[in-house]
Structure 1
């Protein structure tokens, strides 16, 4: 078995596009792969093959990054040809080779339909991917709901319960710190095990500044008397407008204010002509999922995220 990037032959990118999408786990279409290659979000050096001694491709891995990323951010597609006796072993070797070349362990996102566990064929296809990811060091697992809003869902009118305004960088940093307390977001919980709240907040600020959305979109949410209630950070991906980050400070939680903040983000994007707004939340974050449901967002897929374990 030989593992390599798709850089040895000018025809390699075409071979990667043409690789058959075996199995029940949804795969990217050829058109989508070409679009990502053209946008520099997939690259030949981030596209890896497992080949047999005759040069037949037995597995393909497609890592994704932003157009200006130095290293890939996530593994978006992993497939092993049907009939391979031990797909987990082949996939694990492919991931290990890619990780060694990248000098890190990008997360692995598996996009799945709702109810995937009830389908034996899909569950088995996920199982060997999990086994391979675990073998390659991606042993921490999070399951997320991917939501989507379209204009058919409509928007809500402001109720006056909150006032939204711009704020300074220091005010937003403070809001991130306050919102992290008691957060149900698993990534935030993991980060707080190895960093203090201000360090986590600074990383969050840098992350959202690096997203395609604009800093000028960010809003602090206040009660009419000026008390900070939360924060709304409309954002974007390379493809769609995105909810980004939102939350309510601990002392104001349980009053339904999350609906007001989500409504503000949705109205903002809708007013800008957005035809689609995407969002994600952990399946364990029941209050946030319920807010998306109330706002007319619909679950379009389950995203299984496999990543390095949190630092102690």
Structure 2
């Protein structure tokens, strides 16, 4: 059957067709975006017609939909937010990989794919099968790196810990933060950091990290360096935000002081900062394998709300 893979740019009605595509159903239990959310993202320029792709049959019937996301000022999409295939399609992975490949060719890049899932998604056979064909399609389209992340959320009911005085926090220059980014990357349990360090040195990664967090919606004035009371460098705290809510941007303790509970002090500083600004929700993520960081979130009253399955191009050789 002849198929056409195209963005929603040919006709003004295309966007309404993208909005009207069913968001969920018993045959596809992967959580999808409903019509209101799609409209909101389009209005915010975080979804765009050229980032909204269809697979159509020769009669113009939509068989699959892919929605890529970016910030309002992004030149190219940053992530695939939604991938759906009609239940009557016998080989959803095959159709999906062709749709992804068409989008990737147009973008000149392979944006990562974020799948937001319930914490126990593997225990539900239908959900596990729906994830499996998406993983297969993403891998075949070049997104062969897989990271599973815990998404945490803090709300005011959890409260905040009082400062203990074990650390002193202060403002710092970009050069100082560059130095700390490089220090904190060494020995990191974060899988993305480990992968990046296989492709570049710590100083180059620090420059990338600094540029990334400067580009986030959070304010540069929020950032703090952490020291022991005697002035010994200890770590840093970067409260930040997404286009939707405040979050724990970046935090860490220098390698020589890890294992002493100081991460609780750094996380506490970020949480207190956001809470004092009136935040009713603070989100955070960490890899499932980064057990010390997950334990720190647990101790601080953050709770796991979902699993993020991230499929991306692998970094490094």
Q: Which residue of 1 aligns with 2:177?
A: 172
- Does 1:62 find its partner at 2:67? yes
Question: Contact conserved, 2:151 with 2:306, CA < 8 A, in 1?
Answer: yes
> Counterparts in 2 of 1:174-253, with a 5 A limit?
174-253=179-258
Whether the 8 Å contact between 2:96 and 2:137 is mirrored in structure 1 is: yes
Match of residue 40, structure 2, among 13, 35, 40: 35
Which residue number corresponds to residue 14 of structure 1?
16
2-side partners of 1:310 and 1:213: how far apart? 26
SS of 1:184's partner is coil
Matched, 1:261 2:266: yes
Partners of 1:188 and 1:232 in 2: how far apart?
17
Between the aligned partners of 2:261 and 2:88, the Cα distance in structure 1 is 52
Q: Does 1:121 align with 2:126?
A: yes
TM-score (norm: length of structure 1) = 0.99
**Counterpart residue number, 1:5:** 7
2:110 equivalent to 1:105 = yes
**Is 1:131–2:133 an aligned residue pair?**
no
Provide the C-alpha distance between the structure 1 equivalents of 2:243 and 2:50, rounded to a whole number of angstroms: 20
Gaps in structure 2 of 5+ consecutive residues: none
Q: Deviations over 1:113-170 (max 9, x none)?
A: 0110111000000000001001100000000001111111111100000000001111
Counterparts of 1:159 and 1:30 in 2: how far apart (Å)?
47
Task: Judge conservation of contact 2:247–2:282 (CA < 8 Å) in 1.
Answer: yes
Decide whether the 8 Å contact of 2:23 with 2:35 is kept in 1: no
Deviation at 1:21, TM superposition (A): 2.2
CA contact (8 A) 2:67 2:81 kept: yes
Q: In the aligned structure 1, how far is the partner of 2:145 from the partner of 2:76?
A: 21
Find the partner of 2:100 among 95, 104, 114.
Answer: 95
Q: Tell me the SS of whatever aligns to 1:292.
A: helix
1:277, distance to aligned residue in structure 2 (A): 0.5
Which whole-Å CA distance do the structure 1 matches of 2:270 and 2:277 have between them?
Answer: 11
**Superposition CA RMSD, Å:** 0.6
> Aligned equivalents of 1:141 and 1:293: distance in 2?
24
- Detail structure 1 runs of 4+ shifted over 4 Å in the superposition: none
**Matched residues in 1 for 2:100 and 2:147: separation?**
19
The one-character-per-residue Cα deviations of 1:74-124 (angstroms, maximum 9, x if unpaired) are: 000000011210000010000000000000000000010011011100000
Return the match for 1:297 from 282, 285, 302.
Answer: 302
Question: In structure 2, how many angstroms separate the alpha carbons of the residues matched to 1:184 and 1:24?
Answer: 32
Q: Structure 1: how far apart are the matches of 2:249 and 2:47?
A: 23
SS of equivalent residue, structure 2 residue 248 = strand
Please, what TM-score do these two structures have when normalized by structure 2?
A: 0.98
